[in-house]
Amino acid sequence: MKPVLTHYPVSLEDNFFAAVFNFPYNPLPLHYHPEYELLYVIEGSGTRFIGDSLGEFESGDLCLLGSNLPHLFRNHKHYYAEGSRLRHQSITIHFTPEAFGKDFVNLSQLQKVRSLLSNAQYGLDFNGQFKLSVINKLFEILELHGLPKMLKLLEVLDELSHIKEYKLITASNIKGTDDVNAERLKKVIQYLLTNFTEEITLQQIANVACLTRTSTCRFFKERTRKSIWDFLAEVRLSHAARLLIETSSTVLSISNESGFRNISHFKRLFSEKFQCSPKEYRKQSAA
């Protein structure tokens, strides 16, 4: 994965970055940074791409991303509609272990925190009621400065290290590196996420990448560890799953709205991903 390197200014007083982002939609492209990122979605929903993992995000999500782990959070299509009043709000904290002092995290008392940061290279999603205490502390961090702010962050990391209800986001340890292909990959993924409801040809994607069709397929697979069509299918299936929960549209209509032109093909891919039919998925979600 070779996305864009980004950097947030770190306060000299606080030694790490913490802020609330409030936008009509998340404006950040596919990117990475050397700092760890602790992210809480206050409001917003959409598709996220982390490492080689593609999935959905929604309000209330809490995740920890490791150093240089590529990620993109793109809101659903209606966030970009003219006149939309939707907002994307999140608390974002960027830090490095060195922010607490050289070799501080190597103390024996911080063994669990070291393990937490090691697992963060795969990205961590936190679940369950215990994360609510962490979320409250994130809001507190925004109001603090200096030593109290750093101690509160350390308290958050210690609490996260004891939460057992979490899952790894990606199985692969992918690191971002900045090179001439970063902008190309960003444009291709942006094109797929923007146009997935339409019929897309390999030639159209190759035109965006400014490569031949064969080179485009190889380029995308090398950097995402997914084929273009597997990635596109995952985006479409995630969108279809959301429509099954949020609307009463027919399965045929949802198949078409999600970019599938063959209902049988849609049902087969949906069953492979979710281990049930679209109708069963809707029933289970409503239960």
pLDDT digits (tens, 9 = 90+) for 98-142: 877 777 777 888 899 999 999 999 999 999 888 999 999 999 999
Instruction: Indicate if 190 and 157 belong to the same structural domain.
Output: no
> Is residue 254 in some structural domain?
yes
Instruction: Indicate if 161 and 207 belong to the same structural domain.
Output: no
Locate all alpha helices (DSSP H) within 76-181, ordered by sequence: 111-119, 131-143, 146-162
pLDDT given for residue 2 in this prediction = 45
Last residue of a domain, one of 133, 168, 203: 168
Whether residue 47 contacts residue 74, with contact meaning beta carbons closer than 8 Å, is answered with yes
pLDDT given for residue 6 in this prediction = 57
Whether residue 44 contacts residue 26, with contact meaning beta carbons closer than 8 Å, is answered with yes
Instruction: Indicate if 108 and 17 belong to the same structural domain.
Output: yes
Give the 3-state secondary structure of residue 196: coil
Instruction: Indicate if 158 and 199 belong to the same structural domain.
Output: no
**CA-wise closest residue to 202 among 215, 218, 213:** 213
pLDDT given for residue 1 in this prediction = 37
Residue 9 DSSP one-character state: P
Is the model's pTM score more than 0.85?
Answer: no
> Is residue 174 in some structural domain?
no
Sheet holding 88-95: strands in order across?
A: 17-23, 88-95, 36-43, 62-65, 124-126, 166-168
> Is residue 140 in some structural domain?
yes
Whether residue 37 contacts residue 45, with contact meaning beta carbons closer than 8 Å, is answered with no
What is the full DSSP assignment across 222-236? HHHSS-HHHHHHHHH
Last residue of a domain, one of 136, 168, 200: 168
Give the 3-state secondary structure of residue 75: strand
Instruction: Indicate if 21 and 86 belong to the same structural domain.
Output: yes
- CATH of residue 196: 1.10.10.60
Q: pLDDT by residue (tens digit) across 259-268?
A: 999 999 999 9
The mean pLDDT value of the chain amounts to 89
> Is residue 175 in some structural domain?
no
Instruction: Indicate if 15 and 85 belong to the same structural domain.
Output: yes
Instruction: Indicate if 15 and 115 belong to the same structural domain.
Output: yes
Give the residue ranges of the chain where pLDDT is below 50. Answer: 1-2, 12
- CATH of residue 58: 2.60.120.10
pLDDT given for residue 4 in this prediction = 53
Instruction: Indicate if 82 and 187 belong to the same structural domain.
Output: no
Instruction: Indicate if 147 and 234 belong to the same structural domain.
Output: no
Last residue of a domain, one of 108, 143, 168: 168
Spell out the residues 6+ positions from residue 277 whose beta carbon is closer than 8 angstroms to its own.
Answer: 267, 270, 271
Instruction: Indicate if 235 and 211 belong to the same structural domain.
Output: yes
Give the 3-state secondary structure of residue 63: strand
Instruction: Indicate if 128 and 253 belong to the same structural domain.
Output: no
Alpha-carbon gap, residue 72 to 89, rounded angstroms: 15
pLDDT given for residue 15 in this prediction = 73
Alpha-carbon gap, residue 114 to 106, rounded angstroms: 7
> Is residue 47 in some structural domain?
yes
Spell out the residues 6+ positions from residue 194 whose beta carbon is closer than 8 angstroms to its own.
Answer: none
> Is residue 234 in some structural domain?
yes
Alpha-carbon gap, residue 7 to 1, rounded angstroms: 18
Can you give the residue range of the structural domain that contains 256? 182-286
The CB-side HSE value for 252 (13 A sphere, CA atoms) comes to 0
Alpha-carbon gap, residue 158 to 145, rounded angstroms: 19
> Is residue 177 in some structural domain?
no
Instruction: Indicate if 118 and 255 belong to the same structural domain.
Output: no
Domain tally, the chain: 2
> Is residue 111 in some structural domain?
yes
